[in-house]
């Protein structure tokens, strides 16, 4: 007969799944655990997609919405992925309300390359998180939506009103700009 | 500096190249150290984004979340303190807590006067269905998570049944009557879900449905037992 | 007898055999009306006044207080303050108490409120009927039916024993019943409807977020599916019937342990999926539709107008 495994044997995904079940039944401590386990990453996501304004406010909206929608999580995808999608929906809606949809291309490619060149000079280095913040808007958005939230280029193209091809090239340029931070 | 090959590196890392292009690129990489270095660094950027843990925001954010939820659903929402009130003891391993719950219910009787309590905890077959550590399919993980959650519900249910029994005289008879009747509806559902799981222990749907029914029973008991002095 | 009462005053009206009073209220005032047993009927008008008509015995009187933007109305015999105990129920959210000496009496309220006024009304053994464009509304009843018509949401209804009927409503709806049916007709806005022993009917519901669950009861839905919408229907012992426009698009998941799945739409389904889920796509697959009936049939039908 198998023995019931204790908490320490659970993977992160299983721990999330159990806490989701408990939180859905009203267990506040389980919901708080989910919050603290995931808020750091969602904080970064929010900052990079919203800019500096309203970040705490939007974070709050995201987790209140998480509470309301938690019972719809069925466990086919990882909880973290599902939470990213929920957060991204809240953020995009908030941005649309704020009217920050910029029509411009989001920084020319020349600008990106120059920025990358500057960073490779010693003494001008900032940390990686700030580097992401400093990416031109469109490249930053695509990078965050693709590499953090796991969206496909076709979905990103829909969100941002660009073509999938543009999304691909923006992603590539964002990654190229950030590669300076890793020794190759 | 961008050139023909560099442009394709991201697509390569994301598995978006056609097989022909991929082979051509891989041949190029064998002979180009700069591109190999770039590929590795781009991969590290991608990995960094995928595993980035970030930093927590100010504590006021959590307080804001909690307060807004309570504003929408009433001050009893997010009952962290309430949950602790119903724990059997602190720090007991889950399996021990669950077996204690079964003992308590066995001694104290049960709302409908049955000798055993079908609603409060897993039987041997269900525990046997819980997998051991190691590689598991997604469905098996879902089943496991659902069974673990149901186990926890079972312990809490046992606690609450006891509380409701003792406090019965203090509750309005109309409330008790409705709650007891509807508990019967849910218990029948739990028994049927359990029997189905025994027939098909691999099914994630059946395990999740069982956990859902347990959770509904827990919610109904909470509603009967949440008595507060004004 | 009509009295006009200024905002900010606390008054007790002790008028035998009935109450009829009208008073002015501030623009953003909310109504908090709790009744032990009887009826609450609420209608609206365009004035910035509240009219309270109450039918009750000689020994009863109605207490009305206005403080900090809340108009609090109670039968005087039913004290929420000094009580032996107070019950708060999560599923059927009731706040009521035993007062001790005298048991509360039967009161039938008819209240007219300004359009758009937020409401918090209910009581242990009270039927509640609200008609007209009130504001954000919360209704609680232990034993009693709740009927809402032409209301603007958001709405929260908690009812232990009784049916909930909602018609011509716009706005977010959350209905928590335990022993009773839920009917929602001609509505738009997010819907969460839950009962333990009862059926749920959602007819002519236009929403991008619908969730209906029962343990012992049938579920019925008729309405369009929004792209990116999420629709969940789950019951333990009962049938689920979902009626959709012919051009509906959704990724569909059905699950049943003992039941049949039948559809007007062309499906590609495994022969036997007892105890398992089956997935298929309708149309462009834009929405997400989940249907679970442990012991019951699932039908997906064309919506004919």
Q: What pTM, to 2 d.p., does this model score?
A: 0.58
Tokens standing for residue A155: 């979905």
Last residue of a domain, one of C135, C154, C171: C171
Residues A101, A104, A109: CA angle, nearest 5 degrees: 125
pLDDT value, residue A9: 54
Lookup result for tokens 């011509």:
C168
Residues of C in contact with A71 (CB under 8 A): 211
Mark yes or no for CB contact B175/C275 under 8 Å: no
Q: Indicate which of B69, B182, B216 best probes the interface with C, i.e. most C CBs within 10 Å of its own CB.
A: B182
Q: Where are the domains of chain A?
A: 12-98, 109-181
Residue C28 lies in a domain: yes
The confidence band for A117, taking pLDDT boundaries of 50, 70 and 90, is very low
**CA torsion B160→C198→C164→B181, rounded to 10°?**
-40
pLDDT value, residue A10: 61
Residues C279 and C234 occupy one common structural domain:
yes
pLDDT value, residue C305: 63
Which chain C residue shows the shortest CA-CA distance from A68? C192
* B178 vs C62, more confident: C62
Max mean pLDDT among A127-131, C206-210, C258-262 falls in C206-210
Residues of C in contact with B204 (CB under 8 A): 277
- Does residue C188 belong to the interface with chain A, where contact is any CB pair within 8 Å? no
**Mean per-residue pLDDT for C115-125?**
91
Contact status, residue C41 vs residue C132, Cβ threshold 8 Å: no
C-alpha B178/C-alpha C196 separation (Å) is 11
Region of poorest pLDDT, from A143-157, A158-172, B88-102, C253-267:
B88-102
**Mean per-residue pLDDT for C97-105?**
48
Radius of gyration over alpha carbons of chain C, in Å?
22
Contact status, residue C102 vs residue C120, Cβ threshold 8 Å: no
Which chain B residue shows the shortest CA-CA distance from A81? B50
Q: Indicate which of B1, B7, B10, B217 best probes the interface with A, i.e. most A CBs within 10 Å of its own CB.
A: B10
Q: Name which of C179, C277, C292 is nearest B178 (Cβ-Cβ).
A: C179
Residues C206 and C250 occupy one common structural domain:
yes
pLDDT tens profile C206-249: 999 999 999 999 999 999 999 989 999 999 999 999 999 999 99
Question: Is residue C141 classed exposed, middle or buried when 0-12, 13-18 and 19+ CB atoms within 10 A define those classes?
Answer: buried
Give the containing element (helix H, strand E) for C85: none
pLDDT value, residue B165: 55
pLDDT tens profile B24-47: 999 999 999 989 999 999 999 999
Residues of B in contact with C277 (CB under 8 A): 204-205
Lookup result for tokens 């267990």:
A27
pLDDT value, residue C134: 94
**Mean per-residue pLDDT for A78-83?**
89
Residue C8 lies in a domain: no
Question: Is residue C257 classed exposed, middle or buried when 0-12, 13-18 and 19+ CB atoms within 10 A define those classes?
Answer: buried
Using CB atoms, list chains with 3+ pairs below 8 Å to chain C. A, B
The confidence band for C6, taking pLDDT boundaries of 50, 70 and 90, is very low
C-alpha C212/C-alpha C153 separation (Å) is 18
Instruction: Residue A5: name the closest of B116, B81, B139, B140 by CA.
Output: B140
Instruction: Residue B65: name the closest of C93, A71, A39 by CA.
Output: A39
**Mean per-residue pLDDT for C125-136?**
93
Q: Report strand pairing: C240-244 vs C298-302.
A: parallel
Residues C162 and C210 occupy one common structural domain:
no
- Does residue A40 belong to the interface with chain C, where contact is any CB pair within 8 Å? no
C-alpha A60/C-alpha A44 separation (Å) is 14
Q: What is the mean pLDDT of chain A?
A: 79
Share of chain B above pLDDT 70, in %: 57
Q: Where are the domains of chain B?
A: 6-51, 86-225
**Mean per-residue pLDDT for C41-50?**
95
- Going from the C-alpha of C146 to that of each of A126, C121, C123, C165, C181, the distances in angstroms are 61, 11, 11, 6, 11
Residue C5 lies in a domain: no
Radius of gyration over alpha carbons of chain B, in Å?
27
Contact status, residue A141 vs residue A50, Cβ threshold 8 Å: no
Lookup result for tokens 């501030």:
C26
pLDDT value, residue B207: 86
What beta strand segments (E) does C132-275 contain?
137-143, 146-149, 155-161, 164-170, 173-179, 182-188, 191-194, 200-213, 219-222, 225-237, 240-244, 250-258, 261-263
DSSP string, B69-138: HHHHH-TTSS-HHHHHHT-SSTT--HHHHHHHHHHHHHHH--TT--SS-TTSS--HHHHHHSPPSS---H
Region of poorest pLDDT, from A6-10, A68-72, B3-7, B29-33:
A6-10
In CATH, the number for domain A12-98 is: 1.10.1740.10
Which chain A residue shows the shortest CA-CA distance from C210? A72
Mark yes or no for CB contact A74/C230 under 8 Å: no
Q: Regarding the domain delimited by A109-181, which CATH topology (the fold level of the hierarchy) does it fall under?
A: Arc Repressor Mutant, subunit A (1.10.10)
| Length of chain B, in residues | 230
Last residue of a domain, one of C116, C136, C171: C171
Residue range(s) defining the domain that contains residue C140 = 19-76+104-171
Mark yes or no for CB contact B76/C88 under 8 Å: yes
Q: Indicate which of B175, B206, B210, B217 best probes the interface with C, i.e. most C CBs within 10 Å of its own CB.
A: B175
The confidence band for C2, taking pLDDT boundaries of 50, 70 and 90, is very low
Report residue B159: phi and psi, to 5°: -55, -50
- Does residue C88 belong to the interface with chain A, where contact is any CB pair within 8 Å? no
Q: Indicate which of B9, B25, B49, B80 best probes the interface with A, i.e. most A CBs within 10 Å of its own CB.
A: B49
C-alpha C233/C-alpha C54 separation (Å) is 41
Region of poorest pLDDT, from A13-22, A97-106, C50-59, C143-152:
A97-106
Measured from the Cβ of residue B208, the count of other Cβ atoms closer than 10 Å reads 25
Tokens standing for residue B115: 């000798």
Instruction: Please report how many Cα atoms fall inside a 13 Å half-sphere around the Cα of residue A44, on the Cβ side.
Output: 24
Region of poorest pLDDT, from B73-82, C2-11, C105-114:
C2-11
Residues C31 and C155 occupy one common structural domain:
yes
* B151 vs B53, more confident: B53
Measured from the Cβ of residue C268, the count of other Cβ atoms closer than 10 Å reads 8
Mark yes or no for CB contact C178/B178 under 8 Å: yes
Q: What is the mean pLDDT of chain B?
A: 68
Which chain C residue shows the shortest CA-CA distance from B139? C276
Q: Would the CA dihedral through B91, B93, B98, B101 be positive or negative? A: negative
SS3 of C109-149: the string is EEEEEECCCCEEEEECEEEEEEECCCCCEEEEEEECCEEEE
Which chain B residue shows the shortest CA-CA distance from C158? B73
Residues C153 and C207 occupy one common structural domain:
no
Q: How many domains does chain C have?
A: 2
**Mean per-residue pLDDT for B143-168?**
69
Strand, helix or coil at B172? Answer: coil
């Amino acid at each position: 007969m198998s023995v019931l495994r204790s908490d320490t044997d659970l993977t992160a995904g299983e721990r999330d799944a159990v806490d989701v079940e408990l939180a859905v039944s009203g267990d506040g401590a389980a919901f708080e655990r989910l919050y603290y386990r995931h808020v750091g990453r969602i904080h970064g996501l929010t900052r990079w997609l919203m800019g500096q304004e309203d970040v705490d406010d939007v974070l709050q909206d995201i987790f209140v919405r998480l509470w309301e929608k938690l019972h719809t999580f069925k466990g086919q995808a990882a909880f973290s992925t599902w939470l990213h999608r929920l957060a991204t929906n809240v953020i995009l809606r908030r941005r649309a309300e704020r009217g920050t949809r910029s029509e411009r291309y989001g920084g020319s490619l020349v600008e990106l390359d120059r920025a990358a060149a500057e960073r490779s000079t010693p003494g001008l280095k900032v940390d990686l998180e700030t580097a992401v913040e400093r990416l031109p808007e469109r490249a930053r958005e695509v990078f965050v939506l693709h590499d953090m939230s796991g969206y496909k280029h076709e979905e990103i193209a829909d969100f941002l009103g660009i073509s999938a091809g543009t999304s691909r090239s923006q992603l590539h340029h964002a990654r190229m700009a950030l590669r300076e931070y890793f020794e190759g | 500096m961008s050139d023909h090959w560099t442009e394709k590196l991201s697509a390569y890392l994301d598995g978006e190249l056609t097989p022909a292009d991929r082979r051509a690129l891989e041949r190029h990489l064998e002979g180009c150290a700069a591109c190999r270095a770039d590929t590795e660094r781009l991969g590290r950027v991608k990995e960094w984004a995928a595993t980035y843990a970030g930093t927590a925001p100010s504590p006021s954010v959590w307080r804001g979340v909690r307060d807004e939820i309570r504003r929408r659903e009433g001050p009893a929402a997010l009952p962290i303190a309430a949950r602790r009130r119903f724990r059997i003891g602190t720090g007991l391993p889950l399996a021990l807590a669950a077996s204690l719950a079964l003992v308590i219910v066995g001694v104290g009787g049960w709302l409908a006067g049955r000798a055993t309590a079908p609603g409060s905890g897993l039987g041997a077959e269900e525990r046997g269905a819980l997998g051991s550590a190691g590689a598991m399919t997604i469905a098996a993980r879902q089943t496991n998570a659902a069974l673990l959650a149901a186990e926890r519900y079972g312990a809490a249910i046992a606690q609450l049944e006891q509380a409701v029994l003792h406090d019965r005289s203090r509750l309005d008879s109309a409330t008790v009557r409705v709650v007891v009747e509807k508990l019967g509806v849910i218990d029948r559902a739990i028994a049927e879900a359990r029997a189905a799981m025994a027939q098909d222990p691999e099914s994630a749907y059946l395990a999740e449905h069982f956990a859902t029914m347990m959770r509904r029973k827990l919610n109904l008991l909470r509603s009967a037992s949440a008595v507060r002095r004004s | 007898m009509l009295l006009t009462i200024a905002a900010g005053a606390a008054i007790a009206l002790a008028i035998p055999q009935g109450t009829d009073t009208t008073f002015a209220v501030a623009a953003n005032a909310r109504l908090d009306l709790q009744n032990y047993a009887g009826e609450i009927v609420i209608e609206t008008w365009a004035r910035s006044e509240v009219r309270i008509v109450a039918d009750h015995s000689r020994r009863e009187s109605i207490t009305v207080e206005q403080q900090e933007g809340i108009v609090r109305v109670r039968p005087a015999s039913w004290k929420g303050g000094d009580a032996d105990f107070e019950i708060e129920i999560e599923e059927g959210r009731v706040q009521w108490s035993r007062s001790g000496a005298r048991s509360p009496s039967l009161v039938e309220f008819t209240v007219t409120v300004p359009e758009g006024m937020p409401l918090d009304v209910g009581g242990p053994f009270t039927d509640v009927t609200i008609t007209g464009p009130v504001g954000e509304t919360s209704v609680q009843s232990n034993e009693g039916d709740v009927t809402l018509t032409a209301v603007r949401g958001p709405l929260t209804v908690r009812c232990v024993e009784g049916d909930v009927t909602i018609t011509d409503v716009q706005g977010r709806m959350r209905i928590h019943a335990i022993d009773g049916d839920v009917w929602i007709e001609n509505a738009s806005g997010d819907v969460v409807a839950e009962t333990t022993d009862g059926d749920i009917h959602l007819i002519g519901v236009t929403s991008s977020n619908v969730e209906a669950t029962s343990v012992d009861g049938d579920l019925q839905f008729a309405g369009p599916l929004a792209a990116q919408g999420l629709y969940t229907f789950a019951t333990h012992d009962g049938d689920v019937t979902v009626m959709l426009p012919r051009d509906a698009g959704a990724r569909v998941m059905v699950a049943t342990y003992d039941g049949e799945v039948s559809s007007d739409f062309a499906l590609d389904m495994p022969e036997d999926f007892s105890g398992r889920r089956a997935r298929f796509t309708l149309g462009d697959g834009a929405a997400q539709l989940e249907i679970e009936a442990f012991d019951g049939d699932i039908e997906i039908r064309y919506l004919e107008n």
